[in-house]
Amino acid sequence: MKALLLLISGMAYAQVDRVVVLKVDGLPEDLLAHSVSERAEGARLGRSRLPWIEYVFQQNGVWMENFYVRGLSLSSPSWSLLDTGRHLEVRGNSEFDRYTLRVYDYMNFFPFYVGYARNRRADMPGVDLLDQNHVPLLADRFAPDERYQSFQLYQRGVRWETLPSSLTNTFRGGPKELFDEWTNGIDLGNLLNAQSESELIGKLKDTHVRYLDYYTGEYDHTAHLIKDAAVQLHVLEHLDALVGRVWSAIEASPFASTTVLVLVSDHGMNTSEEVYSQGYNLIDWFGRPEGGAHHVLTNRYPMTEFKLKGLNPFVSHVTTPSAQSFYLAGQANDYPTAAMDLDGNERASISLRNNSLNVIHILLDQLAHKKLTSRVRRAVIRALFTTLERVSPAWTREVSELKGELAELQGQIDLEKAAVKAESGGWTAELRMAKLTLEEKRRVDHLERMQTEEQGYSEYVAALSRLLALNADDLGEGKVKIAGLIPQRSLGDPNSIDDLQHYIVGPSEGGMAIAEDGSLDWERSFRRVDYFSALSQIQVRNHPQKDVSARPVDFIAVPWGHSVWLWRSPERQALIEARTGAAGELELHYTPVANLHQDPSGQLHYDPAVWAAGFPLELWE
């Protein structure tokens, strides 16, 4: 993530009265630098391909080649860092709450616009989360009437007048022009960009407006679709012309000598014509037996085939069922066991259901649906209670803590409902639409989010409480009701490293096996997947690019306490440990290790390794 910055005043410490930020999604700094250094031919012989960017930033400003923020190469986390200057609260383009599977879909702006129109939303989802964590945006340093903000991921409110204005200003020629454009396909994105630019330039004349930003995703959308250098240069030339128009407007504004103009991008991408990006379908892999035969939850439909429902912008929960599920056939909607987001520039975020919940679910399924001999049934019941006894201390403590938090949350809900009712209790729906301010919309939004949270966690606590209270009398033939015992649409607690190394995905092909002493034979009764070994062994058969590995998974990262374990192979692993230094700064320590494993008590064991090539992150190389 690189940035360009210009102080229009020539003085390093001059007064700054206004900040103008041009936000360009997905633009690589090295491509921009290369295009600026290229010389044009013909009528513009000898001039830069991007003359305005060269003049404004390279000749008269500051080009910050080493401007970098720690973060994922994803739009939502990257813009969060750039818009706040704070460590990440947003860690993906979408995230799931493990306990309720509520999705935080930071990229989907359609539900936000509809919710805003219905007075149910005030800010984009990422802004909501930042507000909950008391992290302000740069724009928040200015009063609402002192700022102009274009359409973007971290957006407060909606300027509805921009949309009709963009259509009116574009089609001044009348119905025929509008019909002609419609038959060719109306480019709504460019219409909004043009109107936002017009509004920004107009606001530069207003001395009361001190913060302005303009966001464009034109380059990102183009580069994701095509690597043709001429096409990308054409988009950059559009950007260059934008810089020129904004620069000229700043020079003509009341704050010409005290305005800071910034051009910044969130992340780069592959722009080489010789290399094309290759993906791998992890959703299908996790749905196959070798991946655990999971029902996989995502925030939108996978692009496996053309289908109109994949275009539905209001969908944020999509479960792809596994046709080969070992014990959850036909239960994909109630019991998804893996969740992942579909956006990942060279990374995937994967969450798997708690391994102990899997074991308990499998054993209950055996008791509910299988014809077991009395000997096998006794062994299964004994194994079920052994598992419950093992997890009971942690789960009982969790239920107690959640009940206390839910009681406090319910108190906040009651207070907020009373306040909202007092403010608008006598209003008609029409009057309410007209009168609600942005701050009042935030209160309504906050109330609805608290109610959603309370309902989801109450259902999780109720199911877990019933499970912990289970006794032998509840397990008679015909009595077992799994739906009331296993929390639906929940992944439960995070897995340990030991869980992921011995993850149970179903009963064995031969079913429940009995040991000589009459107990359940755990090794022969369950199917297991070691996800570190299994993921690293994925190999594609079609390998058209020699510089791109046939193995799509480079390494796996798993949090452990305040550390992260990186796994590439049994011999090539690393621990990254974090601590706070004497001056309060974050310090990281990278230790190469081999053969790391976790025992059932939670202790890590590993062999020291010697620095060499091939370790995760390739620091040696």
Cα–Cα dist 441/128, whole Å: 12
pLDDT higher than 50, residue 617? yes
pLDDT at 304 (0 to 100): 60
Tokens found for residue 377: 């049934």
pLDDT at 223: 87
Q: What percent of the chain has pLDDT over 70?
A: 86
Determine the pLDDT at residue 14: 67
Q: pLDDT tens across 456-473, in order?
A: 999 999 999 999 999 998
Contacts of 87 (CB under 8 A, 6+ apart): 81
Is it the case that residue 348 has pLDDT exceeding 50? yes
Higher-scoring residue by pLDDT: 303, 596: 596
One-letter identity of residue 112: F
| Per-residue pLDDT tens digits for 191-210 | 778 888 999 999 999 999 99
Residue 511 predicted with pLDDT over 60: yes
What is the average pLDDT score of the chain? 87
Distance CA(104)–CA(333), nearest Å, equals 18
Reply yes or no on whether the pLDDT at 434 is more than 90: no
pLDDT at 547: 81
* pLDDT for the residue 70: 59
What pLDDT, on the 0 to 100 scale, is given for residue 268?
80
Q: What is the greatest pairwise CA distance in the chain?
A: 92
Poorest-pLDDT segment among 35-49, 212-226, 462-476, 499-513: 35-49
Scanning the structure block, which residue is given the tokens 């966001």? 215
pLDDT digits (tens, 9 = 90+) for 218-235: 999 888 888 888 999 999
Please name every residue paired with 147 in a beta bridge, in sequence order, or none if there are none: 211
Q: Which residue pairs, CB below 8 angstroms and at least 24 apart, start in 136-142?
A: 136/84, 137/83, 137/84, 138/19, 138/21, 138/83, 138/84, 138/85, 138/211, 139/83, 139/211, 139/213, 141/211, 142/210, 142/211
Which pLDDT score is estimated for 471? 93
3-state secondary structure of 89: coil
Average pLDDT over residues 535-545: 88
Q: Check pLDDT > 90 for residue 538.
A: yes
State the pLDDT at residue 429.
56
* 387 Rama sector, left if φ>0, alpha if ψ -120 to 50, beta otherwise: alpha
Specify the length of the chain in residues: 621
Could you tell me the pLDDT band of residue 183, with boundaries at 50, 70 and 90? Answer: very low
The C-alpha atoms of residue 588 and residue 503 are separated, in whole angstroms, by 30
Could you tell me which residue, 314 or 229, shows the higher pLDDT? 229
pLDDT recorded at residue 43: 56
**pLDDT tens track for 355-408:** 999 999 999 999 998 899 999 999 999 999 999 999 999 999 999 999 999 999
Q: Is the pLDDT of residue 236 over 80?
A: yes
Strands 18-24 and 259-265: parallel
Q: What pLDDT is attached to residue 209?
A: 97
pLDDT of residue 232: 92
pLDDT at 311: 58
- The whole-angstrom separation of Cα 206 and Cα 202 is 8
**Rounded distance between C-alpha atoms, residue 71 and residue 266, angstroms:** 10
Q: In this predicted model, which residue has the larger pLDDT, 65 or 21? A: 21
pLDDT of residue 394: 97
At 278 the pLDDT is 78
Average pLDDT estimate for 406-428: 82
pLDDT at 344: 64
The answer to pTM > 0.85 is yes
Above 80 in pLDDT, residue 306? no
